[in-house]
Structure 1
């Protein structure tokens, strides 16, 4: 008993199921349930319908492959927040996966001693069970690890390789049918399975290599930023020390001049002079020299922009954090807060609150600021309103990367027109 008359129908059903497996890990479009169900029903009807009507021959198989790619690309793009090129890439993987398991089933079936025994229903249930196990394995491995945060980032080289491998496999399939092997000869499926396994392995390895290359590029950028932060910290520390010394000397000079002043205009002049050096009041003392340097620099910047910083910080617990890491964490966080507060027209609302304290076995860094407009969060980070950069660009990624060195975490909370960035670092 065999299911050859049902081969095209089963293959189309399996392509739909394969597409579902690759679709599940992706970020979905809203409304998720409506798009998901309608997309699968529409795609299934468009793919299964022609398989029932069309005869089984070489030209039909080419037509069904082209139809599978077009329809599955549309379904993936309709259901997931994905680029059209990436949707086509997912469709290729769905088709290749379906054909791979179908060929593997044919090989196992031909080698099985029970191939001539049993009913057609039992044989069909066996195919479905085998395919369910295979798709479960794919769903937990390949389909889950290939996308990055629910998205595919497909470049021209990846797409070209995928299309080339698929074309080679389909042409080999047709050539073997016509020239050498019969459609249902065991060797026909063995050769196809070996070639397809080779192509799939190369595609997967290529995908992982491109992901590794992108990760290395991002790490290189992060390291460059860290190096710039280190250089900036050294410059800032020297500048703050110089400002500290100069302002301290000027205050003593003003006091000395005041002791000699009797004239009213001279007194007024001295008051103006004293006010001009009140920058010394921006020098922050927290018990940690690195933290003092960072907060003083940001306080001076905020003064120039009409922003008030309220800071309550216990710097004595920060000794375990590398100065460059601390500069990057607080510098990026305060810069983001300043960028948001600058948009507020009411001067009384241009405030940034910084609190650094310990709770239980954690160091808590909490930065709060008012904001205008709405902020949408995705994956715990604000969605950028800029074309290629913004609030959740390298700034917050740099913070998260630096916190990761100390097993720390970061969370964002938006409520009542207030933006709160909270960071937790376990104390050593």
Structure 2
């Protein structure tokens, strides 16, 4: 028979489990510092966690709960310090990591005590079991959690989602450890081995519930992003329709004024009047739809953006064969060119010297690929993390949907989007196969 006595989990085992659980999020997410600094932080984190849990192993019962809270705070701090994430997201990840650590430590010790029913193995054999079991559990959890994490490291956990997850974690922790506090409840175990089984099973169920919660939060995040991208697409199309109507009216007005100028030239020919009319004609020319690419949709978008650039001292040049876009949907053309030019214009508006406000657009074909290039000059420092461009805006959750909309549209045509920055030139390149 299995002995009813089961020793408490060594505190060093718990420390190792908590450290490994933090790795579930630290490894896949973009880092805040270089690899060497991150490695140094994690080494220090392991030492701090081990010393703290070992030193508090024999505290009084009323100090035990504050120590557990402190252990969770340390885990959240490690994740936040190592990863380029918001504090709210780090707190959510730390909560899941703590639940995972409780399960890893419990299941490892449960297996060891089951195999060695009465006499525990030596320290080296315990270490072998610890490493083997924890690594296996870590790999399974990593494969599950890694699929749910955002490439931009942003979960945007709402207050409601966070507190619902926190409530689940507290409930799991309370039920799994109630037998350690008192055996005088209908849900407490009376023997140490029985208590260990309850803890392991409850922690396993808790991990499953928190994983389901994480999956739901990720689905909500994707749904919110998709709605935002769809709104961007729709707004670009609405802008196109409005611009088309405005440009048609401007062109009508242009031709009317042109005839009036010709009439005035015949009526009188004083030098001052002629100079005034010449200047008036030059000013009107900027409102003529001069972009004739062979695609009416592209002409409208380019003309609208050209008018805006002229008004704000931005030089916009374009070499485009619009006939190459004949296979693309109207909304898709509006989305790609509208968002790309809006991003470029926004960047140029930050440059004080108007002579440096430069944007160039190219639409060409190479072999069986449509190539779209959007180049603009920039002066601010651009930051990258794991190949992703990081915004400098304060409202980061509201930024980036223009580029996401472009990628979403390009993916419909099995295309690819690349970004390059060199010599203060931002180069957005799009390749789309032409069937």
TM-score, normalised to structure 1, is 0.85
Q: Say if 1:313 and 1:126 are closer, same or farther in 2 by CA, change over 3 A.
A: same
Q: Say if 1:333 and 1:194 are closer, same or farther in 2 by CA, change over 3 A.
A: same
Greater RCO, 1 or 2 (C-alpha within 8 Å, sep 6+): 2
Structure 2: which 5+ residue stretches go unaligned?
Answer: none
Q: Say if 1:275 and 1:153 are closer, same or farther in 2 by CA, change over 3 A.
A: closer
Distance 2:127 2:271 in 1: 105
Shift of 1:6: 6.2
Shift of 1:116: 5.6
Mean CA deviation greater in 41-50 or 348-357: 41-50
Contact 1:302 1:308 in 2 (8 A): yes
Shift of 1:288: 1.0
> 1:235 aligned to 2:242?
yes
Matching residue of 2:357:
350
Distance 1:147 1:396 in 2: 16
Mean CA deviation greater in 237-246 or 50-59: 50-59
Contact 1:12 1:47 in 2 (8 A): yes
Matching residue of 2:299:
292
> 1:206 aligned to 2:209?
no
Structure 1: which 5+ residue stretches go unaligned?
Answer: none
Matching residue of 1:386:
393
Task: Find the residue that maps to 1:223 and give its secondary structure.
Answer: helix
Distance 2:227 2:249 in 1: 33
Equivalent of residue 405 in structure 2, options 398, 413, 417: 398
Distance 2:218 2:357 in 1: 42
- Once the two structures are superposed, the pairs formed by residues 216-365 of structure 1 within 5 Å of their partners are 216-252=223-259, 254-255=261-262, 258=265, 267-268=274-275, 270-272=277-279, 274-279=281-286, 281-365=288-372
Shift of 1:232: 1.9
What CA RMSD, in Å, does the superposition of the two structures yield over aligned residues?
A: 3.4
Equivalent of residue 138 in structure 1, options 129, 141, 155: 141
Shift of 1:133: 0.9
- Once the two structures are superposed, the pairs formed by residues 128-207 of structure 1 within 5 Å of their partners are 128-143=131-146, 145-146=148-149, 149-177=152-180, 178-179=182-183, 180-185=188-193, 187-207=194-214
Shift of 1:314: 0.6
Shift of 1:368: 1.9
How many pairs are equivalent? 426
Shift of 1:357: 0.6
Distance 2:74 2:424 in 1: 44
Contact 1:282 1:299 in 2 (8 A): no
Task: Find the residue that maps to 2:338 and give its secondary structure.
Answer: helix
Equivalent of residue 417 in structure 2, options 391, 397, 410: 410
Shift of 1:363: 1.2
Shift of 1:63: 5.5
Contact 1:158 1:207 in 2 (8 A): no
Contact 1:13 1:48 in 2 (8 A): no
Q: Say if 1:182 and 1:354 are closer, same or farther in 2 by CA, change over 3 A.
A: same
TM-score, normalised to structure 2, is 0.84
Q: Say if 1:24 and 1:191 are closer, same or farther in 2 by CA, change over 3 A.
A: same
Equivalent of residue 74 in structure 1, options 70, 74, 77: 77
Q: Which string of whole-angstrom CA distances, capped at 9 and with x for unpartnered residues, describes residues 189-223 of structure 1?
A: 33333322332222222222222222222222322
Equivalent of residue 103 in structure 2, options 100, 104, 109: 100
Task: Find the residue that maps to 1:4 and give its secondary structure.
Answer: coil
Contact 1:328 1:398 in 2 (8 A): yes
Contact 1:383 1:391 in 2 (8 A): no
Shift of 1:375: 2.8
Task: Find the residue that maps to 2:157 and give its secondary structure.
Answer: coil
Mean CA deviation greater in 139-148 or 196-205: 139-148
Mean CA deviation greater in 293-302 or 98-107: 98-107
